[in-house]
Chains A and B, each alone.
Chain A
Amino acid sequence: MGWLLRSLAGPVLWAVLFSAVYALHGIGCAGGWQNRPFFWTDLQHAVLAGLWLTGIIAHLILVRYLPSGDGIKQFLIIAGTVIGLVSSAITLFPVVIISSCLSL
Chain B
Amino acid sequence: MTDIPPNKAQRALHLHRELDKVWADLPGLRGFFTSVNHGTIGLRFMATAFVFFAIGGVLAMMIRAQLATRQGAFLSSELYNQIFTMHGSIMMFLFAIPLLEGLALWLLPKILGARDMAFPRLSALGYFCYLFGGTTIVLSLIFGVAPDGGWFMYVPLSDKTYTPGVNADVWLLGVTFVEISAMAAAVEITVTILRCRAAYMPLTKMPLMAWYLLGTAAMMLIGFPPLILGSILLELQRAFDWPFFDITRGGDPLLWQHLFWLFGHPEVYIIFLPAAGALSTIIPVLSRTKILGYGAIVAAILGLVFLSFGLWVHHMFTVGIPHMALAFFSAASALVAVPTAVQVFAWIGTMYEGRVQFRLPMLYIIGFFATFVLGGLTGVMLAMVPFNWQAHDTAFVTAHLHYVLVGGFVFPMLAAVTWWMPMISGRWRVAGLGESAFWLIFIGFHGTFFIMHLTGLLGMPRRIDAYPDNPEWEILNLVSSIFGMIQAAGFALFAFDMVMQWLFGRRSWRNPWRAPTLDWAMPLPAPSYNFASLPGPVHDNATAILPLAKGEGLLPGAPRGHRETLVVEPASGKPDHIAVLASNTALPVLTSLAIGSFFGLMLAGLYWLTPIGIVATLVMAWRWGTIMGVDYDPPWIEVAPLLTLPTHFSVTNTLAYTGCVALLVADGTVFASLLFGLGFLNVVAPNWPAPETGWATGMMGLMALAAFLVILAATFAGRKAATSRDPRVWTRVGFVCAVLGLILMAGLATGLDDPRRHAGDALRAVMLGYVAVHAIVVAMLALRSDRDARTGRVGPHRRGAIPAWQLFQRFLLFTATISLTVVVTQEVL
* Residues of A in contact with B (beta carbons under 8 Å apart): 1, 3-4, 7-8, 11-12, 14-15, 18, 21-23, 25-27, 29-30, 48, 71-73, 75-76, 79-80, 83, 86-87, 90-95, 98-104
B571→A94 contact, CB < 8 A = no
Using known A-B contacts A3-B571, A90-B331, A94-B331, determine if residue A76 contacts B324 with beta carbons closer than 8 Å.
Answer: no
Interface pair B324/A101, CB less than 8 Å apart: yes
Are B324 and A91 within 8 A (Cβ)?
A: no
Q: How many A-B residue pairs have CB under 8 A?
A: 104
Given A30-B683, A76-B295, A94-B331, A11 and B571 contact (CB-CB distance below 8 Å): no
Q: Decide if A103 touches B321 in the complex (CB within 8 Å).
A: yes
**A83 engages B299 (CB within 8 Å):** yes
B residues whose Cβ falls under 8 Å from a Cβ of A: 203-204, 294-296, 298-299, 302-303, 305-307, 309-310, 318, 320-325, 327-328, 331-332, 335, 339, 570-571, 679-680, 683-684
A23 to B203, CA, bound (A): 35
- Which one, B306, B309, B323, B571, contacts A103 given CB within 8 A? B323
Is the pair A104, B309 in contact by a Cβ cutoff of 8 Å? no
Q: Are A90 and B324 in contact (CB under 8 A)?
A: no
Q: CA A91 – CA B305 in complex, angstroms?
A: 16
Sample of 11 A–B contacts (CB below 8 Å): A4-B571, A14-B310, A18-B328, A21-B328, A76-B295, A79-B302, A79-B303, A80-B299, A83-B299, A90-B332, A103-B322
Which one of B204, B296, B302 has the greatest number of beta carbons of chain A within 10 Å? B302
**Cβ-defined contact, B331 with A100, below 8 A:** no
Known contacts being A18-B310, A72-B204, is A26 close to B684, with CB within 8 Å?
yes
The docked-state distance in angstroms from the alpha carbon of A27 to that of B322 is 12
A61 and B171 alpha carbons, distance in the complex (Å):
47
Query: Would you give the shortest CB distance from A5 to chain B, in whole angstroms?
Result: 10
| In contact, B306 and A15 (Cβ under 8 angstroms) | yes
Partner of A83, one of B303, B309, B570, B680: B303
Once the chains bind, are B306 and A99 in contact (CB under 8 Å)? no
Contact flag A91-B302 (CB < 8 Å), given A72-B294, A101-B324, A103-B321: no
Chain B residues near A25: list those with CB within 8 A. 322, 324-325
Interchain CB contact under 8 A, B306 and A29: no
B306 pairs with A91, CB closer than 8 A: no
Interface contact B295-A75, CB-CB below 8 Å: yes
- Partner among B299, B305, B323, B339 whose Cβ is within 8 Å of the Cβ of A102: B323
Q: How far apart sit A104 and B317, CA to CA, in the bound complex (Å)?
A: 10
Question: How distant is the Cα of A70 from the Cα of B683 in the complex, in angstroms?
Answer: 47
- Please give, as numbers and ranges, the residues of chain A lying within 8 Å of B294 by CB-CB distance: 72
| Chain A residues within an 8 Å CB radius of B684 | 26, 30
- Min C-beta distance of A85 to chain B, whole Å: 12
A91→B203 CA distance, assembly (Å): 30
Q: Which residue of B lies closest to A82 (CB)?
A: B299
Q: Which A residues lie within 8 Å of B299 (CB)?
A: 75-76, 79-80, 83
Known: A92-B328, A101-B322, A102-B323. A11 touches B302 (CB 8 A): yes
CB-nearest residue of chain A to B682: A30
Chain A contacts of B318 at CB under 8 A? 104
Contact B310 A91 (CB under 8 A): yes
Which residue of A4, A29, A71 contacts B203 across the interface (Cβ within 8 Å)? A4
What 9 A-B pairs are tightest by C-beta distance, nearest first? A94-B327, A79-B299, A11-B306, A91-B332, A30-B683, A83-B303, A75-B295, A1-B571, A91-B331
Given contacts A76-B299, A83-B339, 12 further A-B contacts (CB under 8 A): A7-B302, A12-B306, A18-B332, A25-B324, A75-B295, A79-B299, A83-B299, A86-B335, A91-B328, A92-B331, A100-B322, A100-B323
Task: Give the CA-CA distance A27 to B325 in the complex, in Å.
Answer: 12
In the assembled complex, how far is the CB of residue B684 from the closest CB belonging to chain A, in whole angstroms?
Answer: 6
Contacts of A8 in B (CB 8 A): 302
Query: How distant is the Cα of A67 from the Cα of B328 in the complex, in angstroms?
Result: 28
Chain B residue with Cβ nearest A7:
B302
Task: Report the nearest A residue to B321, measured CB to CB.
Answer: A103
Q: Are A104 and B335 in contact (CB under 8 A)?
A: no
Tell whether A26 pairs with B324 under 8 Å between CB atoms, given A3-B571, A75-B299, A93-B331. no
CA distance A9 to B327 in the complex (A): 25
Closest to A45 in B: B324
Is A90 touching B322 in the complex (CB atoms < 8 A)?
no
- Shortest CB-to-CB span from A19 to chain B, Å, is 9
Contact A98 B302 (CB under 8 A): no
Cβ of B195 to closest chain A Cβ, rounded Å: 12
Q: Of B303, B335, B339, which contacts A91 at CB under 8 A?
A: B335
Assembly CA distance A95 to B679 (angstroms): 21
What is the CB-to-nearest-CB distance from A16 to chain B, in angstroms, rounded to a whole number?
A: 11
CB distance from A83 to the nearest CB of B (A): 5
Q: Contact at B335–A95, with CB atoms within 8 Å?
A: no
A76 touches B306 (CB 8 A): no
CB distance from B568 to the nearest CB of A (A): 12
